[in-house]
């Protein structure tokens, strides 16, 4: 009799134990269940919701700031579930604004000062469906091979069919096409990776200026509009040094010159706050990302941030993992701080 294998080798193609990527510092608060529990324990935060994910999970947002903020900023982590660096940055900011110190006990007086003027809408899990299915909490030390994508990172991130083949990377990473989503083909998927919601829709590839097939993004569009949020920030990670991207002029209905000014000021203020030297980039118009979709529809500011993930090869082999986690969490926090300070220097797009 052939039995179902409840413990298949996938998605992990290596000899080492995948559980080592769950073993993270206590202050690296990124797991779906832990983050949900952490949010339930907050007493000073104002909680609201964007709606429900495709899989029915709550899209919780935590607000800290004055009643009448001068500017508002919405930062979201975990758009791609295994990119936990942004989740760690956001949960540490939540702890800081809740209690006066981050999850390591560090105080950030400049952050506390800017939170008296800027309202922070903080969403640790933009794609909770992916977070809930993620088998890891960290990329630190994980093997990656960009030329041979049968490695750990790609298996975890992209997902694969029941025949073992990875999903087509061009369709998953390229501009949206009807073949990019796997809705309607879910019965052929063995593991859905970290870029899709539970409906098999790419979370960060709107179909066009007007429409995203991901319910999360369509609801976020309403949420940003209803709360008149000035700026949206989407946190990711990959192999580049800390990086900040904005949309090209044709992807915003707002003032692109002010967006460029915000972009440059953010780099300056992030550095001044003790953060990284951000690589600045303007994306090409060949594809839609959420950080283009919201400016196109609302005229608001938006940026995409990429942390330098802890994959093998991104950092020297002898660099202690603790230092990589620390750099990842704090670089994101410094960038959010720099962005909030810079936002006070440009006009609100809603005025
Ligand atoms: Zn990403």
Instruction: Please report the sign of the dihedral spanned by the C-alpha atoms of residue 52, residue 218, residue 243, residue 308.
Output: positive
Residue whose entry in the numeric block shows the structure tokens 């096409």: 177
Calculate how far, in angstroms, residue 190's C-alpha sits from the geometric centre of ligand 1: 21
Residues in the chain: 351
Instruction: Please report the sign of the dihedral spanned by the C-alpha atoms of residue 236, residue 237, residue 238, residue 242.
Output: positive
Counting DSSP H helices and E strands in the chain, the numbers are 10, 10
Percent of the chain whose predicted confidence (pLDDT) is above 90: 83
Task: Tell me the C-alpha distance between 294 and 310, whole Å.
Answer: 29
Span 286-313, average pLDDT: 96
Calculate how far, in angstroms, residue 306's C-alpha sits from the geometric centre of ligand 1: 8
Per-residue pLDDT band at 149 (split at 50, 70, 90): low
Instruction: State the chain's mean pLDDT as an integer.
Output: 94
Span 160-176, average pLDDT: 88
Span 244-260, average pLDDT: 98
Does residue 15 carry a pLDDT above 80?
A: no
Calculate how far, in angstroms, residue 137's C-alpha sits from the geometric centre of ligand 1: 15
Instruction: Please give the residue that has the higher pLDDT: either 3 or 93.
Output: 93
Calculate how far, in angstroms, residue 66's C-alpha sits from the geometric centre of ligand 1: 31
The pLDDT value given to residue 5: 52
Per-residue pLDDT band at 102 (split at 50, 70, 90): very high
Calculate how far, in angstroms, residue 282's C-alpha sits from the geometric centre of ligand 1: 16
Structural domains in the chain, CATH included, are: 18-343 (3.40.630.10)
Least confident of 29-33, 132-136, 276-280, 331-335: 132-136
Instruction: Please give the residue that has the higher pLDDT: either 90 or 148.
Output: 90
> Which tokens in the block code for residue 247?
């949309």
Q: In the β-sheet with 46-52, what is the strand arrangement from edge to edge?
A: 46-52, 58-64, 118-123, 71-76, 231-238, 301-308, 243-246, 279-282
The pLDDT value given to residue 74: 99
Calculate how far, in angstroms, residue 86's C-alpha sits from the geometric centre of ligand 1: 10
Task: Tell me the C-alpha distance between 292 and 65, whole Å.
Answer: 26
Calculate how far, in angstroms, residue 99's C-alpha sits from the geometric centre of ligand 1: 30
Instruction: Please report the sign of the dihedral spanned by the C-alpha atoms of residue 234, residue 54, residue 19, residue 42.
Output: positive
Calculate how far, in angstroms, residue 351's C-alpha sits from the geometric centre of ligand 1: 32
Report which of 200, 22, 49 is spatially closest to residue 123, judged by C-alpha positions. 49
Check residue 167 and report its DSSP letter.
P
Task: Tell me the C-alpha distance between 99 and 3, whole Å.
Answer: 51
Calculate how far, in angstroms, residue 100's C-alpha sits from the geometric centre of ligand 1: 30
The pLDDT value given to residue 110: 98
The pLDDT value given to residue 152: 79
> If residue 72 lies in a helix (H) or strand (E), which one and from where to where?
strand 71-76
pLDDT digits (tens, 9 = 90+) for 105-122: 999 999 999 999 999 999
pTM: 0.95
Percent of the chain whose predicted confidence (pLDDT) is above 70: 96
Instruction: Please report the sign of the dihedral spanned by the C-alpha atoms of residue 112, residue 116, residue 117, residue 119.
Output: positive
Calculate how far, in angstroms, residue 277's C-alpha sits from the geometric centre of ligand 1: 20
CA neighbours closer than 13 Å in the CB half-sphere of residue 125: 31
């Amino acid at each position: 009799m052939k039995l179902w294998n409840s413990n298949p080798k996938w998605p992990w193609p290596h000899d080492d134990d995948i559980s080592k990527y769950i073993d993270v510092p206590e202050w690296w608060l990124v797991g779906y269940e832990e983050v949900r529990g952490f949010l339930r324990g907050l007493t000073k935060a104002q909680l609201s919701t964007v709606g429900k994910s495709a899989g029915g999970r709550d899209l919780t947002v935590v607000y800290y700031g004055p009643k009448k903020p001068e500017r508002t900023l919405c930062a979201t982590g975990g758009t791609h579930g295994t990119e936990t660096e942004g989740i760690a940055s956001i949960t540490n900011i939540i702890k800081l604004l809740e209690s006066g110190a981050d999850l390591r006990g560090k105080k950030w007086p400049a952050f506390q000062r800017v939170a008296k003027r800027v309202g922070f809408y903080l969403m640790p899990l933009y794609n909770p469906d992916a977070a809930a299915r993620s088998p890891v909490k960290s990329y630190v030390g994980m093997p990656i091979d960009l030329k041979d994508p049968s490695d750990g990172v790609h298996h975890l991130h992209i997902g694969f069919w029941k025949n073992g083949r990875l999903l087509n990377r061009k369709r998953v990473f390229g501009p949206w096409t009807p073949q990019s989503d796997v809705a309607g083909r879910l019965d052929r998927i063995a593991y859905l990776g970290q870029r899709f919601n539970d409906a098999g829709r790419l979370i960060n590839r709107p179909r066009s200026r007007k429409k995203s097939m991901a319910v999360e993004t369509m609801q976020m569009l309403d949420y940003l509009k209803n709360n008149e949020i000035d700026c949206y920030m989407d946190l990711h990670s990959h192999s580049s040094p800390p990086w900040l991207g904005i949309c090209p002029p044709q992807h915003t209905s707002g003032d692109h010159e002010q967006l460029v000014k915000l972009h440059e000021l953010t780099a300056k203020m992030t550095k001044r706050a003790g953060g990284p030297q951000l690589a600045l980039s303007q994306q090409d118009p060949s594809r839609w990302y959420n950080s283009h979709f919201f400016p196109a529809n609302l005229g608001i500011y938006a940026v995409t941030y990429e942390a330098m993930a802890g994959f093998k090869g991104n950092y020297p082999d002898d660099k202690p993992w603790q230092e990589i986690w620390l750099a990842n969490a704090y670089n994101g926090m410094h960038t959010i701080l720099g962005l909030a300070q810079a936002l006070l220097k440009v006009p609100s797009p809603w005025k």
